Every structure is written in C-alpha cells, then in structure tokens.
C-alpha cells in the first residue's frame, strides 16, 4: 500500500545581480501579500502544476509576472527547504542566479511593480524576509566561485566593453585584484570575445571595444582567474 | 485573495558513485512498488513533511531506509522537475551525488535490500526507470567537472592510498591522462594529504601510503587538474 503524504510547497526564487557604478546590486521586490507584506524579498513564486511544464517554465513565468526583466544569464544554484523557513508550512525553493548586463540595466523601461535595485553591500539581512538573506549569501558565494574559473562575469558587462572594463568587472565579482597582462592574455586566449573595431568614447585614451562572440556560452578557464 | 494551487510531489534521489576495479560504478535499487515495479532506479524517496525538517533530513532518511550506506561525501547537484517525468503527477526531485570510498565499498556488510552496484559504462539508459538515466548523466557531468578543480576524487580512494592510486582515481574521474610529476606536486602543495609512514603491501616497489588529513574538506585547486 502506498501511503499518502502531506506535500510540501514548491517555489522558485530568482536572485538578479547587476553591476552599477562599479558595485554589485540585487533586485528586490516589495511583498504585496502576507506573510511579510510590505517587506523586501527576492522575486519568486509558486510552481503552478497546471501551467508550468517544468522549473524553467516557472522561472520564466515569475520573471514575466514579477520583474519583466529577462536576464542575460541564469543558472540554478541550490534548492533550500525546511519546515521553518516559511510560516505557511514545509517549503522548498529552487534558487536561481540571474545576471543582468549593464546595457540592459541602463535601458530599463518597465521594471515590474515594486521592483527595485539595491547595493548588495548596503542591504541589511533583516530587511529581507523569509530566509532570503541566506539565499542571497548562497548566490554571492556562487558568483564569486564561478567568476574565478568561468566567463560568467562577461554577462554583467555592457554589450561593448574595453578590456579594462572587463578586468574591473572580474575584479568586482572575484573580490580580488587581477594582474593586467595576465588577465588580458587569458581572456583573449579563450577566444570568447572579439574586437568590434570601435573605440570607447570616454577616458583619456581611446580603448578598443570588444563584445562576446555571437553564440558563445559559458567558458571554463583552464586556470583560476582570481 | 491567495489562490490555492495543486502542490507538486517533492522527492530526493541519491546517485551513489564508487570506483571498483578501476571502473566507476553506480548503486541501483530494484523498485518494489509501481510505477516501474521490478525495474532499476536510483535510491530515492518522498519528502515527509511530518518527519523531515529539511532536505538533508530527507536524504539521511532515504540513505538509512533504502541503502544503509553512509557516503563519504555528498553534494546537491540539481533539482529536476516536470509534469511528465513521473506518471504520478508533477514531480520535482532534488538530486544528490554521493561518493563512497573504496574502503567502505570493500567492507559492505549490510547493503539495503534490492541494492546493487553496476558498472557505469555497462548500464543501459533504458534499464533505469523514470528519467533516472538523465539524472545519472547530470551526476557524471558534475563529477567530471568538479574533479578537475577540486579534491573530491580523494573521497573515492581507500582510506590509505599511494600517490599512484590517487593519480589513477583522478584520471578515472576527470576522463583524462595526468602528468605524474605535476599531479603529485599539485596534490602535495595543496597540503590536504599526509604521509602515514606506512608502505603499500602490493606492487613491485613499496610505495608510501597517504591519507586525507583529519578535518580536511573539499579543496579547490588554483589550476585545473585535468
């Protein structure tokens, strides 16, 4: 005989990160319903068994309904679950990390209602409801770790960027200073970016502008970057 | 008003890997209930909201009830969910990768009923039920990727091992040949293993036996191993 069990609640939460004014920022949403009505949360929502065919669908729906901001890169980080993290009962949330490029960030037209970017350093853990401060820590750890051996920080850059900007973004995400020559050699050796032939309009010296090669996904560097 | 949704089913599946006779093996269990009664599956089970405080608890319970084999290393790989992967309805499974050391493998006394080790290469994807062949591919990918930049293959070794054995195990998990001198230097530089002072009893030349230093967890190598 197969016993029937109380089923847990399953949700998806999406931690959006971007870099703005050389600082990491996180997208929060002000909760419109109880519990924690009026407080800040990561955008998220329930799995809808009748609508979603899989978790990607749920994430897509949450993104469309809550933020209207399609990220430039998304990956599943971890599933966090317990009987105490949500007053509504036993819940599991599948946590996603979403990276938003500076170009998209600068051209935000219709960010979802109640959505707001915050400096990651200035947000206090008690401002976030549920265990979202813990989720955010997990996402930060993943970003730092993965920025050391993959090319994912490229997805945070503007569409066209100088090698100095690329280095600056990797320094922000890896939390470490990088040696200029070695960083450039490794990025160019990876053959994942290409010179656009254009020059930057700012700065004392005009720098060549690069872009991610069309169709290139995440690259794994043979040696740690930072 | 908060709508009430049909809740998905939440399960945990544990993919146990070990190395036996220089080959990767996977632990399967023969299903005792429908659906797919009598077929092979990864050991797994439902989250029990009334018993489990979190997913680690669920994994612990599944391990105790189904396999009775405590792994030497366990990590969450990914949550896979859809409305088609299980005939019982919308299900999400949190997939764990579990590594079993050769010493523990060789001393198996009471493996759970219906559990059996299979060579990873010889198991056909249609022998596994549900989408467990897909889950297994994800675990293999994780093992290969993570063996290239972390010390996790050490958890597959016998408790005491020669540096040649360590190299052989890393070669199996990274699917690549490794250069002897460089491998040894990197392993020793990491300061995660220590010479036991004992010598191996087999082989033409007696080799020094090493062990993982007490209390040492997963080490991230500064440079890819394979």
Residues B67 and B175 in one domain: no
| The pLDDT of residue B4 | 63
Which chain A residues are within 8 Å of B76, Cβ to Cβ?
Answer: 78-79
CATH number at residue B182: 1.10.10.10
Residues B80 and B94 in one domain: yes
pLDDT in tens, A61-96: 999 999 999 999 999 999 999 999 999 999 999 999
Average pLDDT across chain A, whole number: 93
Residues B97 and B182 in one domain: no
Residues A109 and A190 in one domain: no
pLDDT in tens, B84-110: 999 999 999 999 999 999 999 888 778
Burial letters B23-35, b for 16+ CB under 10 A, else e: ebbbbbbebeeee
Residues A195 and A182 in one domain: yes
Residue B47 within a domain: yes
Which domain range does residue B170 map to? Answer: 150-212
CA B54 from centre of chain: 20
| The pLDDT of residue B94 | 98
Residue A219 within a domain: no
Residues A106 and A201 in one domain: no
Which chain A residues are within 8 Å of B49, Cβ to Cβ?
Answer: 5-8, 83, 89-90
Residues A164 and A71 in one domain: no
Domain total of chain B: 2
Residue B3 within a domain: no
| Pairs of residues, one from chain A and one from chain B, whose beta carbons lie less than 8 Å apart | 98
pLDDT in tens, A189-207: 999 999 999 999 876 778 9
Q: Distance from B78 to chain A by nearest Cα, in Å?
A: 7
pLDDT in tens, B160-171: 999 999 999 999
Which chain A residues are within 8 Å of B83, Cβ to Cβ?
Answer: 49, 52-54
Residue B107 within a domain: yes
Residue B13 within a domain: yes
Residues B17 and B77 in one domain: yes
Residue A104 within a domain: yes
């Amino acid at each position: 005989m197969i016993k029937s069990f109380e089923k847990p609640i399953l949700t998806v939460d999406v931690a959006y990160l971007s870099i703005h004014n050389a600082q990491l920022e996180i997208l929060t949403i002000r909760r419109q319903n109880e519990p924690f009505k009026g407080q800040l949360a990561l955008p998220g929502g329930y799995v809808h068994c009748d609508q979603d065919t899989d978790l990607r669908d749920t994430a897509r729906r949450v993104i469309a309904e809550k933020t209207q901001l399609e990220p430039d890169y998304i990956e599943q980080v971890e599933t966090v679950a317990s009987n105490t993290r949500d007053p509504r009962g036993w819940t599991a949330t599948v946590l996603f990390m979403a990276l938003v490029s500076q170009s998209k960030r600068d051209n935000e037209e219709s960010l979802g209602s109640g959505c707001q970017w915050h400096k990651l350093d200035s947000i206090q853990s008690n401002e976030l409801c549920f265990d979202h401060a813990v989720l955010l820590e997990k996402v930060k750890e993943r970003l730092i770790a993965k920025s050391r051996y993959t090319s994912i920080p490229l997805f945070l850059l503007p569409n066209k960027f100088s090698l100095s900007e690329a280095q600056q973004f990797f320094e922000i995400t890896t939390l470490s200073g990088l040696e200029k020559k070695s960083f450039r050699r490794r990025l160019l050796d990876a053959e994942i970016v290409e010179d656009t032939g254009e020059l930057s309009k700012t700065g004392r010296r005009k720098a060549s502008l690069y872009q991610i090669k069309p169709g290139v996904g995440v690259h794994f560097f043979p040696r740690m970057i930072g």
